[in-house]
Chain A
């Protein structure tokens, strides 16, 4: 099944973190996934977690420059959710999958391996961020996540000038780097 221009645009927009696109894809696909999970021994919370993780995979793929979506978003999401849920069921040694109401599946194993790696990196960064403490965390986030300039940051955090803020930011970055790589190399 081919992919329409409209879907291509939506797929791109997911990668750009655009809320309208997220809402659209959510609206069109959530019901199907919820049905699938709930009818296969899952709860609503499971359905939400699995669906959001699949959206995360879609987001990562959209950001990846060499990836091209060759099937419908629905098919892709369903394939990812199916794989994720199967894995979870096996992990919990629960009852085997009972129904298959959607035969259109694409292989997603490799994509999920990438996803696992990226999730791992994200978690390590989150832990490291949690460990550097305040004001380091806010300082780093203001600069690298919210892309504020040094002048604004100095004002907001009460540094007398941008150079002092820069100095502090550098120290924080060194600490973050140490914490991050200490974990990262253990993996």
Chain B
């Protein structure tokens, strides 16, 4: 009897689908073989686990629905007594107004002092010039600040230059991201922003300039880790002509592009990277390159200025390597990545929908 048949018999036996004669025969062989007996017991407890999982899930969804309905009917009412929370709410609501008010007051004060210096007769001419410049530069700065406050997103002018922005993606749902090392050059502060526009503070924990990879960790307290990543990481290279796609932030909104693998090596035969034919723009740097199975095969790093559509990507096995060296040098950051993708058999647009949640814009504040 092969494994499949055996399993089927066990299942039939447990669910009482065997007729009397079959049942008797089965029980006899169960008594004779300790191995079979153990298999039946193990099988039964495992099936119970699956069924319990289903039941619990159903119960949880019932609880959730009930809460929803009762709240809609007004039977469950929200209860607010927490005064500290109110103050925090007020503060966070009016924080921006307070900042604007404070900066306007500051600017006015500077203006007045500037005017006084300007009109006071004894000041040498040079000083006046300088102060003026300072004031006008302050003015410019303050209007920038106001812009920033009005437009929450524009901490850094997006897409202005590759230096300032790029793309990154989760490699471990706990808050570890991979991106291109060159994106972070000269960075003083790094923010990452998800597709819903939420910003989180992040820091570099490891980088490899040769392979052009950096690992970031989100240190922001507001960040809520997600459960699991939909994509896996390929350990081997994809075949030539294989279709690939990428997601990135060449502008404020996430952008999808697709192309194919055109060479297994990068510029001048560089074996760390591979060559793609895909349309990419500044800002796409650091984005994941995925194959049709939803496996990350590389990180987008550069394009050839002289040729159109030629783009280079660092191979994903370099991520594995970097994590390995990281693990050896420092045990405080344990990053786990897996090579299985859970979006293997679904169509491209559903894949993208799942992947985009884990692709983040990188905003670099230069020091």
Residues of A within 8 A of B (CB): 17, 19, 22-23, 26-27, 30-31, 34-35, 38-39, 41, 43-44, 48, 52, 55-56, 59, 118, 121-122, 125-127, 129-131, 133-135, 140-141, 144-146, 166-167, 170, 173, 176-177, 180
Contacts and interface: CB of A to CB of B under 8 A. Distances in A.
B53 A122 contact: yes
Contacts of A170: 3-4, 7-8
Closest 3 pairs (CB-CB, A-B)? A145-B54, A125-B53, A144-B50
Contact of B344 (A34, A125, A134): A134
B54 A39 contact: no
Contact of A17 (B4, B53, B58, B343): B58
Interface in B211-227: 227
Given A131-B342, A173-B7, A17 B62 contact: yes
B252 to A, nearest CB: 31
B62 A22 contact: yes
Given A17-B58, A31-B76, A145-B53, A134 B345 contact: yes
B115 interface: no
Nearest to B58: A17
Given A38-B82, A44-B79, A133-B344, A141 B67 contact: no
B60 interface: yes
Contacts of B51: 144-145
A55 B63 contact: yes
Interface of B: 3-4, 7-8, 46-47, 49-60, 62-67, 69-70, 75-76, 78-82, 85, 227-228, 340-346
Given A56-B56, A121-B49, A144-B50, A26 B79 contact: no
B4 to A, nearest CB: 5
Contacts of A133: 340-342, 344-345
A19 B62 CA distance: 7
A162 to B, nearest CB: 11
A80 B353 CA distance: 40
27 contacts: A17-B62, A22-B59, A41-B82, A44-B78, A44-B79, A48-B67, A52-B60, A52-B67, A56-B63, A121-B52, A122-B52, A126-B53, A130-B227, A131-B228, A131-B342, A133-B341, A133-B342, A133-B345, A134-B345, A141-B54, A145-B50, A145-B51, A145-B53, A145-B54, A167-B4, A170-B7, A180-B49
Nearest to B346: A134
Contacts of A56: 56, 59-60, 63
A19 B53 contact: no
Given A17-B62, A134-B346, 5 more contacts: A22-B59, A38-B81, A59-B56, A140-B50, A170-B8
A22 B66 contact: yes
Nearest to A44: B78
A26 B66 contact: yes
Contacts of B340: 131, 133
A148 B346 CA distance: 23
Contacts of B67: 26, 30, 48, 52
A125 B50 contact: yes
Contacts of B345: 133-135
A125 B69 contact: no
Given A22-B66, A23-B69, A170-B7, A122 B76 contact: no
Nearest to A173: B7
A28 to B, nearest CB: 10
Nearest to A123: B53
B7 A39 contact: no
A147 B8 CA distance: 16
B76 A177 contact: no
A26 B70 contact: yes
Contacts of B54: 141, 144-146
Contact of A180 (B46, B60, B341, B344): B46
A156 to B, nearest CB: 15
A45 B228 CA distance: 23
Contacts of A31: 76
Contact of B63 (A22, A34, A125, A134): A22
